[in-house]
Amino acid sequence: MIDTPQIVQTTAQPAAIIRLTIPRAEIQNVMGPGYQELMAAVAAQGLTPAGPWYTYHHRMDPAVFDFEIGVPVAAPVRPAGRVQPGTLPAARVAQTVYHGPYEGLPGAWGEFEAWLAAAGLTSGPALWERYVAGPESSADPAAWRTELNRPVAG
């Protein structure tokens, strides 16, 4: 389900973001429209993505998602409605890649969290997913790739 996790150091990336705090059950209703709004605002400013789009979760709560939908950009984005400039932070992270449909992400995170615990790693409250390959690149969900990142101490 997931590749063997690695410990890597990420670098900070300027980004265009939309910050949302919503009930967990609403995630499927806001992701598509939020992504489209974000990409339209970036394109309207003459910018192009400098990497895969992502969701950055500031904290994990079973009932509420406090997160941002983001896309890295090479030049700063200007505020436009809900779209704001942001940064995907530099961090030492445990990182893996999940292969499959988005519906399998909760199981992938469970497997990843079990690996973190078995490795004796302590993670903070934040995490992020980068959507490396999805429906825009293949109609076959088995070909989709989501990078999972969890900052770790040390």
Write the CATH number for 126: 3.20.80.10
Q: Is residue 57 part of a domain?
A: yes
Mean pLDDT of 135-149: 94
Residue 149 placed within a domain = no
- Answer whether residue 154 is part of any domain: no
* 68 occurs within a structural domain: yes
DSSP per residue, the chain: -BPPPEEEE---EEEEEEEEEEEGGGHHHHHHHHHHHHHHHHHHTT--BSS--EEEEEEE-SSEEEEEEEEEBSSPPPPBTTBEEEEE---EEEEEEEES-GGGHHHHHHHHHHHHHHTT--B-S-EEEEEEE-TTT-S-GGG-EEEEEEEB--
Domain count, the chain: 1
- In tens, the pLDDT along 22-66 reads 998 998 899 999 999 999 999 999 999 999 999 999 987 888 999
pTM of the model: 0.93
Q: Assess if residue 111 is contained within a domain.
A: yes
Which range of residues forms the domain containing residue 21? Answer: 6-134
pLDDT at 150 over 90: yes
| pLDDT band at residue 146 using 50, 70 and 90 as cut-offs | very high
Whether residue 86 has pLDDT greater than 80: yes
- What tokens were used for 35? 């992504």
In a domain, 64, yes or no: yes
Residue 28: its pLDDT value, please? 86
Identify whether 143 is part of a domain: no
Q: Is residue 22 part of a domain?
A: yes
Residue 153: per-residue pLDDT? 87
